[in-house]
Amino acid sequence: MSLLKEMKKGLFTSLWFVFLTFPLMVIKVDPIERVVRWRWENALYVAVGTFLMYLLVTFLMQRKNARAATETEVDADRESFIHRLIASPRQKYLLGGALLAVAIAFPFFSSSYQTNVMTTALMYVVLGLGLNIVVGMAGLLDLGYVAFYAVGAYSYALLNHHFGLGFWAVLPIGGGLAAIFGILLGFPVLRLRGDYLAIVTLGFGEIIRLILENWGEFSKGPSGISNISRPGLFGLELNLDAAIIYIYYLMILFMIVTIFIVNRLQDSRLGRAWIALREDEIACQAMGIDKRKTKLVAFSLGAFWAGIIGVVFAAKTTFINPASFTFLESAIILAIVVLGGMGSIIGVILAALILILLPEYLRALSEYRMLAFGAILVAMMVFRPQGLIANIRRTYIFEKEKSPAEKS
């Protein structure tokens, strides 16, 4: 297509968007003072922004199409840089060791605020990996993931408040309770089709939050629970800075354990059953996989991780209230999984670090954080559904040359 024609189309698109955003972007009224502010400069920004965006998208689409036309067979060779890096075990361990060394040394040359931010990012890494089991591997879209997170957090807060139970005692209880909730919810709803499941889990997440908000005698309502004790270290009294560093190391430990378990799960019989269920349920049942049991295990395992991190969250902030467990939280975790690439472990880790740390360090951007998350979900689905780092399935390659008839 000629450049001029593209320019013209881009111009029309930007005009359309100026019209579209006119009432919301340009006019701002103050109904109490009864004054109208016309922000014409915004119309200009929208016009220029859309025009550039249109050119960028057209360019990307053309490149994508051109690439699809030329490269069909050599897909296997086009593994990303990271995949090649971890292909050989030696490089993999070297890289992992180096990253671990940096992670361990991190608290010593940064402030406790930085360490705290990093702990949050690590929590999202583990949450992302947990949701990745449900969404990425088993293909069950769970929009109420935050409910299980809330269950974990509240079980620690309440048990600590009423019975004085410590962090380590509640950690398995919180995870277990969340997993039980996962089974309770999963048992009736898992036979629903994918999109219904998404809405029911969303409804469930909201129910949990509303109950926590309104059942004052149980959860202390919107004011939340404060003075939750921090995790103990063999009865040592830790000051605030030491406690932050301690939780940071705990999170690193949790992350390593999670990565190890998820990695092993992926290649296990169960993991393969999940992936097969995601691809084709009917074929799977025909092969003798118990659909309901397999899905339930995925659901409750995902919930278990959310519960564990919920306990850590309550211990880290020492204060929780229902406002931390809104739908947006679920959406952030989903954005992490989608951006990273569903089913891809490295992708999820990278995406969690990007999505949580970037708004933290670019303060000017933090206002646009949720806007960007929404845009990321759409853009990833449209342009790169496999995510930043696609999960490469184990494939067996036959060395023998195929006959031309087989190729089609």
Residues near another protein, by CB under 8 A: 16-17, 19-21, 23-25, 27-29, 31-32, 34-36, 42, 139, 141, 143, 188-189, 192, 194-196, 198-200, 202-204, 206-207, 210-211, 214, 282, 327-328, 331, 334-335, 338, 367-368, 370-371, 373-379, 381-382, 385
Strand partners, 236: 233
Min dist CB 87 to another protein, Å, is 28
* 139 vs 231 by CB, closer to another protein: 139
**367 vs 406, beta carbon nearer another protein:** 367
Minimum CB–partner distance for residue 333 and another protein (Å): 12
Nearer to another protein, 30 or 75 (CB): 30
What backbone torsions phi and psi does residue 87 show, to the nearest 5 degrees?
-65, -45
Q: Closest Cα to residue 312, out of 384, 364, 258?
A: 258
Q: How far is the CB of 197 from another protein (least distance, A)?
A: 9
Q: Which residue has the tokens 């409804």?
A: 203
Reduced to 3 states (helix: H, G, I; strand: E, B; else coil), residue 37 is strand
Smallest distance from the beta carbon of 42 to another protein, in angstroms?
Answer: 8
Q: How far is the CB of 191 from another protein (least distance, A)?
A: 9
Could you tell me the maximum CA-CA distance found in the chain, to the nearest angstrom?
A: 79
- Tell me the HSE value of 100 on the side-chain side, using a 13 A CA sphere: 11
How, if at all, do strands 27-30 and 35-38 pair?
antiparallel
- Of the pair 104, 378, the CB lying nearest another protein is at 378
Minimum distance, C-beta of residue 195 to another protein, in the bound complex (Å) = 5
CB of 124 to another protein, least distance (A): 17
> For the chain, give me the number of helices (H) and strands (E)?
17, 2
Considering the complex, state which of residue 172 and residue 194 has its C-beta at the smaller distance from another protein.
194
With respect to another protein, which residue has the nearer C-beta, 54 or 156? Answer: 54
Cβ nearer to another protein, comparing 211 with 257? 211
- The candidate with the shortest Cα–Cα distance to 322, out of 200, 220, 209, is 209
Considering the complex, state which of residue 66 and residue 207 has its C-beta at the smaller distance from another protein: 207
CA angle 84, 87, 93 (to 5 degrees): 115
Instruction: State how far the Cα of 6 lies from the Cα of 141, in Å rounded to an integer.
Output: 38
Is 89 or 188 the residue whose CB approaches another protein more closely?
A: 188
Q: How far is the CB of 375 from another protein (least distance, A)?
A: 5
CB 257 → another protein: shortest distance, Å?
29
φ, ψ dihedrals at 38, nearest 5° = -95, 115
| DSSP, residue by residue, 183-250 | HHHHHHHTTS-HHHHHHHHHHHHHHHHHHHHH-HHHH-GGG-B--PPPPPBTTB---HHHHHHHHHHH
CB of 25 to another protein, least distance (A): 5
Q: How far is the CB of 400 from another protein (least distance, A)?
A: 32
Q: Is 205 exposed, middle or buried (0-12, 13-18, 19+ CB in 10 A)?
A: buried
Q: Tell me which residue of 18, 26, 27 sits closest to 54, measured CA to CA.
A: 18
Query: For the CA atoms of the chain, what is the radius of gyration?
Result: 24
C-alpha closest to that of 156 among 332, 311, 357: 311
Q: Select 28 or 84, whichever has its Cβ closest to another protein.
A: 28
Angle at 150 between CA 249 and CA 292, to 5 degrees: 100
Task: Give the nearer residue to another protein in terms of CB position, either 242 or 376.
Answer: 376
CA distance 101 to 342: 28
Please return the burial class of 400, using the count of CB atoms within 10 Å of its CB with bins 0-12, 13-18 and 19+.
Answer: exposed
